[in-house]
Amino acid sequence: MGLITVEGKGEVEIEEGVSAKEVSSKLSLTAPDQALAVQINGTLRDLASPLQHGDKIRFLSFDEPLGKEVFWHTSAHVLAQAILRLFPDAKPTIGPPIEHGFYYDFADLHISEEDFPRIEEEMRAIAKENYTSRRETFASKAEAIELFKANPYKVALIEGFEEGGELSGYRQGEFFDLCRGPHLPNVGKIKALKVTKVSGAYWRGDAKNEMLTRIYAITFPDREGLKNYLYILEEAKRRDHKIIGPKLGLFSLLPEAPGLPFIHPKGMIIWNRLIDLWRDLHTAAGYAEIKTPSILTRELWETSGHWSHYKQNMYTCEIDKRDFAIKPMNCPGCALYFKGQTHSYRDLPLRLAEIGHVHRYEAHGALSGLFRVRGFHQDDAHLFITKEQIQQEISALLKLADTLYTIFGIEYKLELSTRPAEGTIGSDEDWESATAALKRALDSGGHPYIIREGEGAFYGPKIDFHLRDALGRSWQCGTIQLDMNLPVRFNLEYTDQDGSRKRPLIIHRALYGSIERFFGSLIELYAGRFPLWLSPREIRILTVADRHTSYANELCKRLQQEGFLVEVDESSESVSKKVRAAQLDQVNYILTVGDKEMEHRTLALRCREGTVYGELNLEEFLATLQEEKRTRSLKPYY
């Protein structure tokens, strides 16, 4: 007998060698969304794995990312099994889990959406057969190649594995696939599923290779999960910024400039208010704003390392027989600015902010509205600091970010990424002290965070902000990166208190991330219904008849003098049609003026949501709206 520690359950007595599945049954973790896999002493394993005295284990459920990965990766095998039953000549290649569900790529397969129902039916049949997922290992690469010799794609994958490493596959019924796992204990945990899309995909993502058929799908441990997901899909279509933005005249994407959006006058109102907010917050936080050139010489990018490691994503040109590149990021230009000045310890921390217009080459197929573009503006900042200032500056940045995101009503998650296993620069001591300072700052901030072991940059640990939108989707926008590399590459120095020359550290930091992407996220967050302080269409005055035009224009002028954006609709359309047009344009407040309003010097108010308030005093209306804008309220005061 022995004891193990189960997270959330405490100590559990076991017999040596008992499986994790037996323990999960003993603890009644048998629901379809429970005990999908297990972490044993930090290592992810199947439930069939044996346990020993002293083990610390954690059962994974569907409501956590790792649990979903296991659930959806097993489901990808169910999809492949169904495809082979229906299309025996198809050749499975790879099938990974993704953020929402999974996909599987097949060669020698041609299907359309008309095939989705029978694929789904076959997948349901396999789930009902409730096969146990059994892991099998190969004695050698040669043995694995012999088994998969009829599938050149699997053979290519096997040949690419390191010699001596363990090769494994998973069997469920008649289906066997190459896989490192882990998998669900049985496929019967899959209770609801949907095939969502079919597309083409190049083998290994290389356009020089053959085109495969990629099938996307998603599964859940209950019908409610699928129902909610399908609702989110429909709601996402309703909120799609690529549809709402052009419809409201905010931006456009034209074939003459792929990946380079045109921001329209109404869009610029929102854009400028985002920048105004950003500047107000940064001025109050002690930042100085700079602007660096967009085109810099090859020598600069060689010094920074981008020419050798990032050139394929950069736009380059030749000027005066010298190579130049349009900047893909602002950091090297900011480093040049710092190097061009003389600095002492009294200047640090030096906080420099920049709205930098950067360009990066993205494959045409990857472009997506404002979310994935080739030219965008980063709200960058670079903080030049001493080692002793890391924690205080990270803490201040976390507070600044929280202030910004709270203004927009955005929820977010924090992730701390630590030192990668290989290829990093800096001493062990530097990495340990830097990571510890970031952890202390996160702990003192009180906001929950998770640690991504080994996922930091080669030059330092980082903190990422994952924003949650109205549909619960996650967007990686803001980031805080500690850099021990760029100061070395550019030989940056300051004079310390004892007169010696010291090298600063740099904190790279963006809060909006890409302003274009953040703009697109806001369109979807608010579904085009911007709060008053951001809205490009704050007030519209509707006339009942031509005789009311003079009073409407008088009201318009007064409201404009108070700083509001106001339009007058004096068209010959009926009032009901004018109201409908204003609501479709997402005008926050709709004012109607007729005989009574003109006589009483008042206005009749209707809000965007449809509530009618009737006759109001102009001065009271003005005072209320001024307060709504001043406080940057997310909810209308009327």
Q: Round to whole Å and give the CA distance between 479 and 21.
A: 39
Name the residues annotated as catalytic: 331, 360, 378, 380, 382, 462, 508
Q: Round to whole Å and give the CA distance between 569 and 579.
A: 10
Residue with tokens 């009032």: 575
Q: Round to whole Å and give the CA distance between 262 and 254.
A: 8
Say how many C-beta atoms besides its own lie within 10 A of residue 11's C-beta: 9
Helix runs in 6-46, H state only: 20-26
What torsion do the CA atoms of 547, 553, 555, 561 make, to the nearest 10 degrees? Answer: -170
Q: DSSP secondary structure string, 59-81? A: EE-TTSHHHHHHHHHHHHHHHHH
Q: Tokens representing 406?
A: 């709270």
CB 551 within 8 A of CB 284: no
Find the radius of gyration of the CA atoms of the chain: 29
Residue with tokens 């407040």: 589
Q: Round to whole Å and give the CA distance between 414 and 467.
A: 9
Q: Round to whole Å and give the CA distance between 545 and 612.
A: 20
Q: Return the closest-CA partner of residue 179 out of 80, 316, 312, 268.
A: 80
Q: Round to whole Å and give the CA distance between 92 and 83.
A: 9
Strand partners, 607: 589
SS3 of residue 359 by DSSP = strand
